Amino acid sequence: MKRISTSFPGWMAMLTLAAFLFAVASPASAQDEDGEELKKFLEGLSMDAATLYVAPVVSAFGSNLNGGWFHRAPSAKIFGLSIEAGVVGMGTFYPKDEEYLSFDIDGDFQFSARQAADIVALIPLDPTLEPFRAQIENDLIDAIAGREIFVGISGATVIGDPEDYIEIEYGGEDIVIDNPLFGLPGEPATITLPVPSDVITLPIGGFEVISDLSFLPLAAPQLSVGTVFGTRVTFRY
């Protein structure tokens, strides 16, 4: 997978995706569940990774904003009154190069409790600790879930293949937890357990309602006022 070069700020990426999802996914749509999963996924990502995921949509959105401004020449007057209001429509085709369909980056990710449970499941324990497995796994889950962990993140972008799921590569780490045997002779208050590396596959790939389209449509109300020396001022919201 190739890395996408982006020059727009991360907040623009998040804002653009939110606006697009609001525009194309109605409350009654079957995509609502997917949209909620996508929202949770983006909230867990670092800004860099989230920016790469939505990069193709942000690029197309920016092109749309810069298009459709001129469609009729102003009247040939030094001074005049001309008011024009309406709705303009624009559309930008998505790039289909591989580098825009998938991404690969290292960054921070916040695992959910369910994902943390998958990571610590069946972790090898000393026989003396085995009776306390449930307690130990719960402590490890609490230590992993909700905090930012540096991981590898790869998979489809928002316009990529919906079945090219995002993979989170957890590198493993040593985690200190309370020792369930503390109080017995020679037992310390805490123990350090090595949590092995793992790959978590998320049920998120390309967002189907977007990837099924070949271009990004956009409509916006526009007001033009003139004319001064053949110049009009146009406002778009």
The SS3 assignment for 110 reads: strand
In a domain, 165, yes or no: yes
How many domains does the chain contain in total? 1
In a domain, 184, yes or no: yes
In a domain, 166, yes or no: yes
The pLDDT, as a whole number, for residue 98 is: 72
Domain that holds residue 204: 10-73+101-216
In a domain, 93, yes or no: no
The pLDDT, as a whole number, for residue 222 is: 75
In a domain, 78, yes or no: no
- Give strand pairing partners of 193: 175
Question: Other C-beta atoms within 10 Å of 169: how many?
Answer: 14
CA 11 vs CA 16, 126, 206, 222: distances in Å: 8, 47, 20, 25
DSSP state of 171: -
- Cα–Cα dist 39/116, whole Å: 19
In a domain, 196, yes or no: yes
The model carries a pTM of 0.66
- Cα–Cα dist 145/187, whole Å: 27
* Residue 235 φ then ψ, to 5°: -115, 135
Start-to-end CA distance of the chain, whole Å, equals 37
The pLDDT, as a whole number, for residue 201 is: 92
* Predicted confidence pLDDT, tens digits, the chain (237 residues): 444 444 445 555 555 555 555 554 444 344 455 556 666 666 677 777 778 888 777 665 555 455 555 556 666 666 777 777 777 666 677 777 777 789 999 988 889 999 999 999 989 999 999 999 999 999 999 999 988 999 999 999 888 888 999 999 999 999 999 999 999 999 999 999 999 999 999 888 887 777 666 666 666 777 877 777 667 777 766
For the chain, where are the alpha helices, taking DSSP H only?
Answer: 10-24, 32-44, 47-65, 98-101, 113-120, 133-144, 208-211
In a domain, 158, yes or no: yes
- Cα–Cα dist 42/207, whole Å: 12
The pLDDT, as a whole number, for residue 208 is: 77
The pLDDT, as a whole number, for residue 4 is: 42
The pLDDT, as a whole number, for residue 38 is: 63
The pLDDT, as a whole number, for residue 68 is: 55
In a domain, 89, yes or no: no
- Cα–Cα dist 182/191, whole Å: 9
